[in-house]
């Protein structure tokens, strides 16, 4: 498909945020939507490399409210878009090993209950019944929510790509945006490796590269890339089908079933900012040693695959969502800090409302506007893995 000369909206980035935004813009009647992805396939960077988790258990009201809107959209996804997404509600089990985490999670669970999320508080004996394979040394308590779980990120992206195209949107791969035309304080177009497109609206959905795209428009977006990596084991028949998504919170160590094996990851707290996506083998050894201590049967597991990807991290671990006031017609949907996939459905809708209706109305997103950093309205998300 040739690059069109004009578009009503240009979206930069073809992961879950960009494709969801394209679909919801088209669904609301904006037909001249153009999405540009520089890779040869949609959703193969941050979205395709994530663990696929979906959860209601968060530490701020805005994130819980996003989940309350977004996860039901995933429930309806196959019916709405005709695309199965491998939805599996295995539950998230957070293991708490410090008194500080116990105190914070107690407050978070109270907040979740107030919003209608019935997270369970578990004592160690109850945790042992749920996950007998886990070594509970040092575990003081846990939280569990049965309607947390997993979905397939690639299937979600493909569903939105197909849905947006059916509604008339143009979504192109192998097109790299190299500059954004800004004149008189407003967006005029984008420059790409295949030509220019005139447009009054640009949506920055570039994930870990959102800061780079912001610079093209002369905007300083506080979103940086940080490497995270994952290991998947060979078949482990000892792991039951109902094994939950387990998170050793203080270590940022997690496990869940992946096919017949186990997927596990652990965040390196000293990982520098950068775009390196090679596997850090030294950190992988640290990770696997911690993983085998918490889940001893991993000592007998074979390695099936491993990879690294990028988180898109903001200063308060919340997304920057909505219009960027410095440049008229420039919008951002990024900075989700490792938990964006699950909020892709609702955030695409909210941004479509922001662009077409002048303001998001399904949920008040003013707490996620970029001006919160200048105005001291940051709200740190505690439940970051």
Which CATH architecture fits 92-145+225-311? 2-Layer Sandwich (3.30)
Q: Tell me the pLDDT tens digit for each residue of 317-340.
A: 999 999 999 999 999 999 999 999
Positions in the chain whose pLDDT score sits under 70: none
Is 49 within 8 Å of 309 (Cβ atoms)? Answer: yes
Question: Which CATH fold topology does 9-50+153-223+316-375 show?
Answer: FAD/NAD(P)-binding domain (3.50.50)
pTM of the model: 0.97
d(CA 62, CA 358): 20
**Which of these, 138, 131, 137, lies nearest to 262 by C-alpha position?**
131
At residue 378, the pLDDT reads 86
At residue 1, the pLDDT reads 74
**57: CB partners within 8 A, 6+ apart:** 92, 94, 108, 112, 117, 119, 143, 145, 148, 383
At residue 31, the pLDDT reads 83
At residue 44, the pLDDT reads 95
- Range(s) within the chain of domains with CATH label 3.50.50.60: 9-50+153-223+316-375
At residue 159, the pLDDT reads 98
Q: Tell me the pLDDT tens digit for each residue of 261-271.
A: 999 999 999 99
- Range(s) within the chain of domains with CATH label 3.30.9.10: 92-145+225-311
Is 262 within 8 Å of 232 (Cβ atoms)? Answer: yes
């Amino acid at each position: 498909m040739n690059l069109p000369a004009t578009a009503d909206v240009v979206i930069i980035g073809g992961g879950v945020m960009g494709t969801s935004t394209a679909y919801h813009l088209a669904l609301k009647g904006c037909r001249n939507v153009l999405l540009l992805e520089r890779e040869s396939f949609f959703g193969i960077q941050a979205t395709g490399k994530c663990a696929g988790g979906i959860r209601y258990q968060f530490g701020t009201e805005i994130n819980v409210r996003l989940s309350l809107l977004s996860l039901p959209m995933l429930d309806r996804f196959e019916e709405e878009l005709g695309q199965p997404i491998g939805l599996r509600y295995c539950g998230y089990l957070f293991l708490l090993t410090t008194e500080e985490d116990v105190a914070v999670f107690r407050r978070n669970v109270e907040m979740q209950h107030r919003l209608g999320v019935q997270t369970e508080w578990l004592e160690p004996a109850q945790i042992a019944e749920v996950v007998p394979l886990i070594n509970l040394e040092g575990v003081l308590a846990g939280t569990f929510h049965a309607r947390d779980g997993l979905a397939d990120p690639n299937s979600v992206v493909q569903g939105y790509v197909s849905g947006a195209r059916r509604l008339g949107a143009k979504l192109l791969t192998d097109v790299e945006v190299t500059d954004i035309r800004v004149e008189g304080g407003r967006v005029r177009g984008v420059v790409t490796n295949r030509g220019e497109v005139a447009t009054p609206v640009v949506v920055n959905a570039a994930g870990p590269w959102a800061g780079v795209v912001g610079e093209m428009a002369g905007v300083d977006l506080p979103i940086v890339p940080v490497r995270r990596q994952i290991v998947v084991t060979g078949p482990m028949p000892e792991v039951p089908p109902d094994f939950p998504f387990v998170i050793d919170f203080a270590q940022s160590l997690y496990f869940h079933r992946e096919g017949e094996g186990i997927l596990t990851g652990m965040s390196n707290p000293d990982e520098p900012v950068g775009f390196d996506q090679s596997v850090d083998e030294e950190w992988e050894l640290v990770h696997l040693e911690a993983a085998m201590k918490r889940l001893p049967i991993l000592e007998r597991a074979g390695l099936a695959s491993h990879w690294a990807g990028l988180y898109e991290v903001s200063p308060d671990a919340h997304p920057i969502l909505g219009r960027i006031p410095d440049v008229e017609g420039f919008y951002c949907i990024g900075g989700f800090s490792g938990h964006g996939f699950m909020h892709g459905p609702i955030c695409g809708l909210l941004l479509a409302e922001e662009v077409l209706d002048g303001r998001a109305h399904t949920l008040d997103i003013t707490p996620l506007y970029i001006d919160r950093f200048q105005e001291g309205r940051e709200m740190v998300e505690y439940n970051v893995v």
